[in-house]
Amino acid sequence: MQTPRDILADLWTSTGGEASALDRVTLSGEEPQLPSSFRVAAAAQTSIAAAAMAAAQIWQQRSGQAQDIAVDMRHAVVECRSERYLRVDGKPPGPGWDVIAGVYKTGDGRFVRLHTNFPHHREAVCKVLDCKPEREAVQAALTKWDGETFETAAYAAGGVVALMRSREEWSAAPHAQALAELPLISIEKIGDAAPKSWPPGERPLSGLRVLDLSRVIAGPVAGRTLAVHGADVMLISSPNLPAIHWLTIDTGRGKLTSFADLKTEQGRDVLRGLLAQADIFSQGYRPASIAALGFSPEDAARISPGIVYVSLSAYGHAGPWAPRRGFDSLVQTTTGFNHAEGQAAGVDGPKELPAQMLDHATGYLMAFGAMMARARQSREGGSWHVRVSLAQTGNWLWKFGRVPDGFRTEDLTGEAVAPFMEDVPSGFGPLRSVRHAAVLSKTPAFWARPAMPLGSHPPQWPARG
């Protein structure tokens, strides 16, 4: 199996990084860190380290100073479960899942997973099943369905569900074969523009303006990561969209947060004005949805020549499932992780990875790709499109190999996590939260802004310099 250093080297050089930069990176810690048959700790460490390397490369472009980077494996995997460890005024998170979310059996003996944390997704499932939003009613209704038929019908109705597949079953699917042709991170030039100089500042991303149009872990983690290296990150949400409160707090550290209802012309005007002055546009909409609002990659490049446009998807941008909605838990179920973990743990049915690792690792890879593209923009000019997906991150993790007897590993307790926590103020009260795992010798990573309730700031950029 590849070592974490080998994995990082492949990740770094495949996106144009100079191999010599790896000499200044220290990766500490040993696998496994969590009970799993997959190398989740290696994914955590290497994705966070890659983002830190990109920040260090930008700092070297800006200042001429190289610096050392260190990432501890245990700290990294703790950060990839940051939402679990967050405390607000000493209190832990509330219930993480909607009452009918989770795993069920269908009439043909298959397992399906429902994601119903947003009301419209719950309503879509209950409409297809013609049942009340109660677990017993949902299970009774599903006994009348074939698993794959239900999955297809629920998606058509606007729900988000997943049929559990083995890795072999998934690999034989047309969509999996289409994904196999794609890189982990796609970075493509989509327009002409002059190179942008770096604004003044004392941190790698000082003065860079990032629009964050994302929800639920992966995209928000990308924005949080850009903020930890000094970017002005503005989270754009709508007062009419549901949000998961705990995740808003955890991934909101370091960000400005403003409202713009993109279903209105006024809201779109606000976003166009912000975009015209932005460096990075990071979003997790489905392609047809964002294009219908007037903010496709090509639209963004016209509004803001030289933009780095970052697209997050569940299942990638090629193949028949490219338009499908999805979340980490569902992609794990669909692509074989839950089946494989269940077998390794001796469980009859799905078993989740011990972290939302597809989400978190994808978030760090998004930030990494955004920074690598921005560095290219400063040298070559152009507008750039960066694409990542949960499913491709899953393929990357799968290629690391499996951990023999991984479930003999004990989970991390509060005592093991304590060294990685920090106490900070916020707009929600005192926070105890996981600090960033990458240690940079010249430009320490930290969040300069506290997490704030959605819509706390006016939709305007702070002055540069």
Q: What is the pLDDT of residues 348-358, one digit of tens each?
A: 999 999 999 99
- Tens of pLDDT, residue by residue, the chain (465 residues): 999 999 999 999 999 999 999 999 999 999 999 999 999 999 999 999 999 999 999 999 999 999 999 999 999 999 999 999 999 999 998 777 888 999 999 999 999 999 988 888 999 999 999 999 999 999 999 999 999 999 999 999 999 999 999 999 999 999 999 999 999 999 999 999 999 999 999 999 999 999 999 988 999 999 999 999 999 999 999 988 878 889 999 999 999 999 999 999 999 999 999 999 999 999 998 878 899 999 999 999 999 999 999 999 999 999 999 998 889 999 999 999 999 999 999 999 999 999 999 999 999 999 999 999 999 999 999 999 999 999 999 999 999 999 999 999 999 988 999 999 999 999 999 999 999 999 999 999 999 999 999 999 999 999 987
Task: Please choose, from the candidates 234, 191, 244, the residue with its C-alpha nearest in 3D space to the C-alpha of residue 359.
Answer: 244
Are the C-beta atoms of 361 and 393 separated by less than 8 Å?
yes
Number of other CB atoms surrounding residue 36 within 10 Å: 27
Cα angle for residues 106, 107, 112 (degrees, 5° grid) = 10
Q: Which residue has the tokens 């597809």?
A: 358
Angle at 454 between CA 115 and CA 75, to 5 degrees: 65
The reported pLDDT for the residue numbered 96 is 72
Residues in Cβ contact with 343 at an 8 Å cutoff, skipping those fewer than 6 apart: none
Task: Tell me how far CA of residue 132 lies from CA of 105, 123, 129, 143, in angstroms.
Answer: 17, 9, 9, 15
Q: Would you state the pLDDT for residue 414?
A: 85
In this prediction, residue 288 carries a pLDDT of 81
Q: Strand order of the sheet with strand 280-283?
A: 186-191, 383-389, 308-313, 280-283, 209-213, 232-237, 255-259
Residues 6+ apart with CB under 8 A from 147: 106, 108, 110, 111, 112, 163
Q: How far is Cα of residue 142 from the mean position of the Cα atoms in its chain?
A: 31
> What is the rounded CA–CA span in Å between residue 138 and residue 126?
8
Q: Give CA angle at 213 (298, 397), nearest 5°.
A: 90
**Residue 363 neighbours by CB under 8 Å, 6+ apart:** 217, 218, 219, 220, 221, 222, 224, 225
- The C-alpha atoms of residue 63 and residue 240 are separated, in whole angstroms, by 43
pLDDT of the residue at 325: 87
Provide the token pair at 21: 């930069």
pLDDT of residue 94: 77
**Cβ-count burial 334-365 (b if 16+ within 10 Å, e if not):** bbbbbbbbbebeeeeebbbbbbbbbbbbbbbb
Q: Are 362 and 388 in contact (CB under 8 A)?
A: yes
| Global confidence as pTM | 0.97
